[in-house]
């Protein structure tokens, strides 16, 4: 995202507490600030740096941790967001483009793929927090005239994804396959997800830049892929024949998740078009090159 904005001539400030991000990923030309979004210093930066657009991707991103510690999840994902919004709306902030969730927003779906009209019935504190922020953004739009776009992402994957922790099954599988370590599938592996390549997600963010008003858009492929199928594609991309190991199912795990991106295509002109096969090959090549260093 930062590289795309720099290429368009924008001044880019990056705020990250490095709890999971890596400073080496900060591109040349961007200004980096190691801050917690809940902090007074982050609020001061919003006020004093003349920030006009906030691309808000900072989050406690682990669904399972949100279940184990919903207070922490809300502290980061709701209160942290409000800290930035309150500072920004008193200064130069004109627009917020928010990384919401499609995977956790709709709960156990009743329609496949889910469009933006599907009932929002999140089954985790993480999803609840994302929905709350969407509602806060609508309030800030109506009360203060702040333009806001919420992009409900599918499962985003691609180069540089962090393979540690619970988030990012593509990165986790690649990291384990390249290290010749056991890759574990929870349960039967027939649970499905919609996997969106990072470049398509960046394109949606860029398309939202400067769009007036308030809007909510899914960013996904509309394609369901089982975890078993995903593992097979990744193993094939690396030329690995080792089968996966099946572990116990995770209690409460959503069975099917897939979202439609027809609206973002019609209104923002974004095509979430990278095929899973091509995206996984590019991602596998990046992980393999890193492992070879």
DSSP state of 224: -
**Residues 12-25: pLDDT tens digits?**
999 999 998 899 99
Among 126, 140, 157, 231, the one annotated catalytic: 126
Q: Residue 165: is its pLDDT beyond 80?
A: no
Q: Residue 3: is its pLDDT beyond 90?
A: yes
Distance CA 138, CA 168 (A): 29
Distance CA 63, CA 224 (A): 20
User: Which domains are present in the chain?
Assistant: 2-292 (3.40.50.720)
DSSP state of 25: G
The pLDDT of residue 251 is 83
Active site residue 138: no
Prediction pTM value: 0.97
The pLDDT of residue 250 is 87
Q: Which residues of 9-35 are buried (b: 16+ CB within 10 A; e: fewer)?
A: eeebbbbbbeeebeeeeeeeebebeeb
**Residues 48-61: pLDDT tens digits?**
999 999 999 999 99
Question: Strand, helix or coil at 101?
Answer: strand
- Residue 69 C-alpha from the chain's centroid: 20
């Amino acid at each position: 995202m930062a590289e795309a904005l720099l290429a368009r001539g924008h001044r880019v400030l990056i705020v990250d507490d490095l709890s999971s991000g890596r400073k080496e990923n900060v591109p040349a030309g961007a200004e980096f600030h190691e801050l917690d979004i809940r902090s007074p210093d982050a609020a001061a930066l919003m006020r004093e740096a003349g920030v006009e657009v906030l691309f808000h991707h900072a989050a406690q991103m682990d669904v399972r941790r949100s279940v184990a510690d919903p207070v922490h999840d809300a502290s980061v994902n709701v209160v942290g967001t409000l800290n930035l919004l309150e500072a920004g709306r008193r200064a130069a902030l004109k627009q917020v483009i928010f990384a919401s969730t499609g995977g956790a927003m709709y709960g156990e779906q009743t329609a496949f793929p889910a469009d933006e009209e599907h009932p929002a019935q999140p089954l985790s504190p993480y999803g609840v927090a994302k929905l709350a922020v969407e509602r806060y953004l609508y309030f800030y739009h109506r009360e203060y005239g702040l333009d806001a776009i919420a992009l409900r992402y599918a499962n985003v994957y691609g180069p540089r994804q962090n393979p540690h922790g619970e988030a990012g099954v593509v990165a986790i599988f690649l990291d384990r396959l390249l290290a010749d370590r056991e890759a574990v599938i929870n349960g039967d592996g027939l649970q499905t997800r919609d996997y969106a390549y990072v470049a398509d997600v960046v394109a949606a963010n860029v398309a939202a830049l400067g769009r007036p008003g308030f809007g909510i858009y899914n960013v996904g492929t509309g394609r369901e892929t089982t975890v078993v199928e995903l593992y097979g594609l990744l193993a094939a991309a690396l030329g690995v024949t080792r089968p996966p190991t099946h572990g116990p199912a995770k209690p409460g795990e959503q069975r099917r998740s897939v979202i439609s991106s027809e609206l973002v295509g019609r209104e923002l002109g974004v095509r979430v078009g990278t095929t899973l096969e091509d995206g996984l090959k590019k991602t596998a090549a990046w992980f393999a090159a890193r492992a070879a260093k």
